């Protein structure tokens, strides 16, 4: 089965984004799988990986 998995080091995980630079990657993230496809491996973002789909809701 496909799975979403997020593997991180609780001792080092941190958000490095700031108001001036909001798109900074987090540190301490080892692996992220979306629908069974790696999007982060060995702490590095895999450019071009785009599995999964957006979750949307209708406006009320």
- 3 near 13, Cβ under 8 Å? no
Residues 38-51 have a mean pLDDT of: 90
**Order of all β-strands in the sheet with 44-45:** 5-8, 29-34, 37-41, 44-45
Separation between Cα atoms, residue 13 and residue 25, nearest integer Å:
11
Within 10 angstroms of residue 2's Cβ, the number of other Cβ atoms is 10
What's the number of domains the chain is made of? 1
pTM over 0.75: no
pLDDT tens for each residue of 1-41: 566 899 999 999 999 999 999 988 889 999 999 988 899 99
Q: Which residue range forms the structural domain that includes residue 51?
A: 1-60
Q: What is the pLDDT of residue 46?
A: 92
Give 7's DSSP letter. E
């Amino acid at each position: 089965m496909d799975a979403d998995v997020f593997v991180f080091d609780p001792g080092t995980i941190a958000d490095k984004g700031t108001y001036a630079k909001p798109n900074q990657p987090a540190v301490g993230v080892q692996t992220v799988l979306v629908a069974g496809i790696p999007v982060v491996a060995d702490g590095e973002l895999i450019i071009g990986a785009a599995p999964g789909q957006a979750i949307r809701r209708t406006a009320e």
